[in-house]
Chain A
Amino acid sequence: MSEALRMFGAIAGAWVRAGFTYRTSFVVLTSTGMILTFLDFAIILIMFSHLDALGGFTLTQIAVLYGLSGFAIGVADLLLGNAEMLGQRVRDGTLDQMLVRPVPALVQVAADRFALRRVGRVLQSGAVLGWGLSAAPIDWTPLRVLVLASALVCGSLIFASLFVLGGAFQVFAGDASEVANAFTYGGNTLTQYPLAIYPVEVVRAVTFIVPLAFVNWYPALYVLGVDDPFDLPAAFQVASPVVAALFVAVAALTWRTALRHYRSTGS
């Protein structure tokens, strides 16, 4: 594992250095990225100039939900977002080249073309989360701190697993990055808002099928001390580590299976 991280660092580092050779481009891309993500939250701010609560949640509470989800997908996208390019790698044959190197293919896929500018979303979401946590009325206990900290890690793992699953799926289905995007970026948009505003079917789907509710919704209910509007078991609110571990296992297994079924290109 540490070896894999070291290799990730080596490959990603080369790309970061290469990126810095176009310094202006890096600055422009990073700052426009941050402005765009900021505007994303501005929409919620504008909404709340007309509302006091959305689905029973105040602006600061939504900032916590938004921040947790944005931070998680930000970290996952920074580290593993490139897995969505796997379909292209399968088609142009560059995956072959990765498979003959002594580094796990996933590490290479993830680190190749590593883009440091993606850190913008992590920073922006972290800022929104920090503001939400300081402004929302929270009765801090050691367990709440722990749940919050584990949500940051587990949420990132859940989104990272989604990226990996999306990549693995493309080994079978060719270029299906749009389908994968629907779950990752689409999931992020969905979980930015309190699940209380959605029909119960949606909540069931993101609890039992694609466990996005464990990224931010359940941990946030616990941290904020809000009752679950859907009356699902209270244990869900602290179950993110278990769910994340299971989902990571599913993703890892699917990835391995996908590589064993890889057919390569004609030449």
Chain B
Amino acid sequence: MPMIDVHDLRRTFLIRERRGVLRRTRREVQAVDGITFSVEPGEAVGYIGPNGAGKSTTIKMLTGILVPTSGHLRVADLDPSRRRTELARRIGVVFGQRTGLWWDLPLRDSFELLRRIYRVPTPTYERNLSAYVGLLEIGDLLGQPVRQLSLGQRMRADIVAALLHDPEILYLDEPTIGLDIASKQRLRTFLRELNADRGTTILLTTHDLVDIEQVCRRVMVIDHGRLAFDGDFAALHAAGQATRTVVVDFHDEVPPIDVPGSRVVRVDGVRQWLTVPAGTPTGPVIAALASSHEIADLSIREPTIEDVLPHLYARP
């Protein structure tokens, strides 16, 4: 039985707009426009799409916050909006943009309160708390009020909070937004291990394709309320013709470099842009560059969702 089962799910918003002092117009917006998918227990799925594509609306319907306009929706065999509080015991939710912790309470009190709200047995609570607090390195912060935590610290605390009751599904809405590279990396490793070791089903929305690459085996792309892609990461790159870009500054101006596996797309003085297909490693290309020329500086730009998206529609 799938953990999440969605069939032809739709959500319409009625937007009232002011036109002048008294004149108002009504407009219907299809935020989610007939999506169908299912997620098996233990899967880690990335859910991506540009702003306003319908990602958050989908998550909010899956968690029972929003009532769908139409369509079939079951999570852990429950209708989320009708059995919201019952479902809540079985899921964990992290909204990256805001905290689920109590702003003015010390972190330890927030966790303790969640223990009581979810009625987590004390041994389970103690075990989870010490394990996750250790893994996410927030042990020193437990006495601080949440408002004093940095964004990265707060995000880690929020993830611990969402896991104290051993949820079967963990929803993460933009968990790495605004985090520095080291914090992002630590979080990705943690989520990957959580999925592998505990079998927690993960549904992750993000703008950062690297999150998906490192945590999820499966990607769903939503745009304009419809699923544009559902498959594994390699297939997404192939379908989206994604490329990584190696930006190299040479010591001296040189003619466009010819390195197997890459293509020069732009030259500007000493700087050259080489693209490498996203699925292939950049190491050999960089090694080849370094062996034949003197490099002053080098950086790699990962493909973004916006780069990949246009090609998905061109597919048959």
Knowing A10-B116, A10-B117, A17-B109 touch, does A260 contact B97 (C-beta < 8 A)?
no
Of the candidates A93, A104, A260, A264, the one whose C-beta lies within 8 Å of that of B85 is A104
Stretch at the interface among A51-59, A95-103, A177-185, A229-237: A95-103
Q: Which residues 64-102 of B have a CB within 8 angstroms of A?
A: 64-67, 81, 84-86, 88-89, 91, 93, 95, 97-100, 102
Contact B104 A10 (CB under 8 A): no
Q: Which of chain A's residues have a CB closer than 8 A to the CB of B109?
A: 14, 17-18
Knowing A18-B105, A101-B88, A260-B81 touch, does A96 contact B95 (C-beta < 8 A)?
yes
B60 within 8 A of A: yes
Q: Which of chain B's residues have a CB closer than 8 A to the CB of A263?
A: 13, 66
Knowing A14-B105, A267-B56 touch, does A102 contact B113 (C-beta < 8 A)?
no
CA gap between A264 and B60 in the complex, in Å: 8
Shortest distance from the beta carbon of A82 to any chain B beta carbon, whole Å: 13
A262 within 8 A of B: yes
Contact A11 B113 (CB under 8 A): yes
CA gap between A23 and B208 in the complex, in Å: 46
B118 within 8 A of A: yes
A7 within 8 A of B: yes
Tally of A interface residues using CB under 8 Å? 26
Interface string of A241-267 (1 = CB under 8 A from B): 000000000000000000011111011
Contact-residue size bin, chain B (C-beta under 8 Å from the other chain): 20 to 34
Knowing A11-B113, A14-B105, A102-B85 touch, does A93 contact B98 (C-beta < 8 A)?
yes
Of the candidates B89, B91, B93, B117, the one whose C-beta lies within 8 Å of that of A11 is B117
Contact B88 A100 (CB under 8 A): yes
CA gap between A262 and B84 in the complex, in Å: 14
B63 within 8 A of A: yes
CA gap between A102 and B88 in the complex, in Å: 5
Q: Which of chain B's residues have a CB closer than 8 A to the CB of A18?
A: 104-106, 109
Q: Which of chain B's residues have a CB closer than 8 A to the CB of A94?
A: 98
For B66, give the chain A residue with the smallest CB separation.
A264
Q: Which of chain B's residues have a CB closer than 8 A to the CB of A264?
A: 56, 60, 65-66
Knowing A14-B102, A18-B104, A266-B56 touch, does A96 contact B65 (C-beta < 8 A)?
yes
CA gap between A103 and B65 in the complex, in Å: 13
8 contacts between A and B (CB under 8 A): A15-B105, A18-B104, A96-B65, A96-B98, A101-B88, A102-B118, A260-B67, A264-B56
Closest 3 CB pairs of A and B: A102-B88, A10-B116, A100-B93
